[in-house]
Amino acid sequence: MANTTTKETTALATLYELAGMLTERIDEGISAYQDLAPMTEKDTALFLVALTMHHHQVETEVRDLVQDAFGITPNFPEIEAAFEDVTNNIRTHRANFTPLDMDDQDKAWVRGILLSSPVITSLIYGGHVKVPITNLHNTDPSPQGALVRYTQQLVDACQFNERDLKLIDYEMWEMGAYASERFDSLLRMIDRHDPHLPLHPFAQPDPRLQRWIDNNAPELHMFNPQMQQTMLIAVLGRGMLAAVDPNCGGVNITEYARACLKDSAHYATAIVDMLPVTMHDDEAPIAYMDNAIAYLGSHEAARAMGIDKDAVMTELHELCHVPATASAATLPRDNWAARVILGVQRADIWELDDEPLSPMGRMILRKSLARETRQY
């Protein structure tokens, strides 16, 4: 900073505050990997400018300040050039990173990079700016770290409590009455073909199961008929309402299903157990994320994750490839299908709005997620 003019120092100090260095979140998770800090006053100014941007726009006040102090226009090419090393580093973890439209976590990482930069360090030691008063974070930027972080943030946003871990009487009655209306006829139809519903050979869909799907879950028609039937039987199996005999492939209802047909309150536990759908422990966070997003809706999920609402489903889709299991990539599809079969899903697959679930869906999913995410 020895050659820095008073005008440049004043401009940097102003940008330092406008960029939220004093009050916003600072995360050193990226700077811990390698030295990515800007080395010159000009590049430091461009880093700070990027932190002030909103909706791809540099404020007039900021642009004029940089032009007057450094003689450059802080346009998109200038900012992207200054960020080249940082962009290349972050994109090894997040392919869609751009300094022109950073989310809250991106900005926190950039503040962490700036905090250890020589120019900002000189400003602090010279008494030109104050030391940040926020707590420092160290967030793993890898996809594995993002999966853990987003899952925790979404679960925290749901604000589960001890009461959510229990089913009380009125909830059992409400859920039971709902499930009875939806599943009684299906279970009785299966039971009439005692001991097993004789599914057609060569993986042909059963017309009786197909009729139920056509009448109650037509959203599944985007899948082939055999997939629709497989999804239905899998959901009934998760609720311990039906099972497949491995010897003949036929479907039969369970003793628990018969208890539900006699007293609908028994259904409550069954339908709570139908979600989230997951195959392996290490891919469970994908299912938790998907269902928490459905529970919260687009705005609340985006707020919890610190990203734009249009990026929520994109992030989920990208993170499906983190667990080393083949089934992880299909978990959002399978959980969406399970909610459709339950009759509680409003939004189309891979789409999200503020109320993607029915009120009954929110009641069921709150109980399901609270139980499954207790470790969070």
Residue 247's pLDDT band (cuts 50, 70, 90): confident
Residue 310 lies in a domain: yes
Q: Are residues 167 and 276 in the same domain?
A: yes
pLDDT at 136: 85
Element of type H or E holding 364: helix 359-372
Q: Are residues 197 and 264 in the same domain?
A: yes
Query: Which of 109, 139, 169 is the last residue before a domain boundary?
Result: 139
Q: Are residues 275 and 296 in the same domain?
A: yes
Examine the pLDDT at 59 and tell me if it is beyond 50: yes
Domain count, the chain: 2
DSSP-derived pairing of the beta strands 136-137 and 26-27: parallel
Q: Are residues 208 and 119 in the same domain?
A: no
Query: Which of 139, 156, 178 is the last residue before a domain boundary?
Result: 139
Q: CA–CA separation, 108 vs 87, rounded Å?
A: 14
CA–CA distances in Å: residue 323 to residues 279, 293, 299, 355: 11, 19, 26, 29
- Cα 73 versus chain centre, distance: 37
Q: CA–CA separation, 15 vs 44, rounded Å?
A: 10
Element of type H or E holding 244: strand 242-244
Examine the pLDDT at 71 and tell me if it is beyond 60: yes
Give the pLDDT confidence of 101-114 residue by residue, as tens digits.
998 899 999 999 99
Q: How many residues does the chain have?
A: 376
Query: Which of 116, 139, 162 is the last residue before a domain boundary?
Result: 139
Residue 1 lies in a domain: no
Residue 354 lies in a domain: yes
Give the pLDDT confidence of 129-162 residue by residue, as tens digits.
999 887 788 888 888 888 999 999 999 999 999 9
Residue 25 lies in a domain: yes
Whether the Cβ atoms of residue 197 and residue 252 lie closer than 8 Å to each other: yes
- SS3 label, residue 375: coil
Domain that holds residue 121: 6-139
pLDDT at 22: 93
